[in-house]
Structure 1
Amino acid sequence: MIKSSINNRGYNKYLKLEGEINITIDHKKFAEDAAWDGLKGYLTNTTLSKHDIISNYGQLWKIEKAFRVSKHDLKIRPIYHRLQKRIEAHITINFVVYKVYKELERQLKLKKTKISCEHAIEIAKSIYAIELHIQGDFATK
């Protein structure tokens, strides 16, 4: 067994392989890493202030959630296009679908309903026709 045959994540990075199968803990590496326990660092090329960098990083979960919703709930999958207009159209359609989903989420929360977006989408899949009555003049808004 050689070191390249195991990954270098978690506790494995502390393993030192000697000879064919002699595995020991690399205590020096362990001690070096212990000096960083409890610390978090950010490496960036931006001109933002330290406060803004940390604040923006704290919002990263929203982007990750958007990707999760897009992939899982909306089942958006990559499609490979060659033409610029098709690429832009694909991105636009995905963005619009996500915005509709977020509006559905907002409306369900506003109405204080216990229906999740996923459940509402499942209900909508069973609807064949709807009649929509809009009150007021939305053209001026």
Structure 2
Amino acid sequence: MGDKVIDRYALDQDAIEAEEKYDGYYAIATNLDDSAKDIIEISSKRYKIEDCFRVMKTNFSARPVFHQNKERIIAHFMICYTALLIYRLLEKKLDLNQTHFSVENIVETLKNMEIANIEDMCYMSTYTCSQVCTALNTVFDLELNKKYYQPKELNKKIKKILG
């Protein structure tokens, strides 16, 4: 039989109290010669960059990549970056209108916004309008809550979005 193991520990209260004065602070170490203000401003935006990679990986399927051809790999990432750019512009426009939604809400709403061609006479929306859809209506004035659209209407909406 093995020896009996006894675990013992002790907390160094003095060390804990000495470290507590740094609680809530974030240290930045850099070799840049910029001013502290500039470095802090850049660092404060780091989360946005990290969030972009998370959004691309999670919501735009940037990884894994199952392409072998270099051109296809580049095309795949260009599509992902373009989707991210469009999402960020949409997010910014919604935020300026005091309306914020998570990336999941926006992407899910846009994925579900489909229309069906009814014998080349009109288009029927197959989606139900959500809070995101309502906010997009407000920001872009697109009347996305209609059930039927004439082809000319959709062309006007596309031109309006593209500016």
TM-score, with length taken from structure 1: 0.56
Distance in 1, matches of 2:15 and 2:98, equals 53
Do structure 1's residue 41 and structure 2's residue 46 form an aligned pair? no
SS at match of 1:57: helix
Q: RMSD of the alignment, in Å?
A: 3.9
CA separation in 2, counterparts of 1:35 and 1:128? 62
Q: Which residue in the other structure is 2:60 paired with? A: 74
1:58 paired to 2:44: yes
Name stretches of at least 5 consecutive residues in structure 1 with no aligned partner. Answer: 1-18
User: CA offset at residue 53 of structure 1?
Assistant: 0.6
Identity across the alignment (%): 27
CA distance in 1, matches of 2:107, 2:43: 28
Q: Which amino acid aligns with 2:44?
A: G
Residue of structure 1 equivalent to 2:106: 117
Name 2:9's counterpart in structure 1.
Answer: 23
Q: CA deviation at 1:98?
A: 0.8
Cα distance, 1:44 vs. partner? 1.5
Q: Structure 2: 5+ residue runs without aligned partners?
A: 118-122, 124-150
TM-score by length of structure 2 reads 0.50
Superposed CA offset, 1:101-122 (max 9, x none): 2344355567888985235324
Q: Following TM superposition, by how much is the alpha carbon of 1:96 offset from its aligned partner in structure 2, in angstroms?
A: 0.8
Of 107, 112, 115 in structure 2, the residue corresponding to residue 127 of structure 1 is 115
- 2:78 aligns with 92
Q: Which amino acid aligns with 2:52?
A: A
Q: Does structure 1 conserve the Cα–Cα contact (< 8 Å) formed by 2:56 and 2:62? A: yes
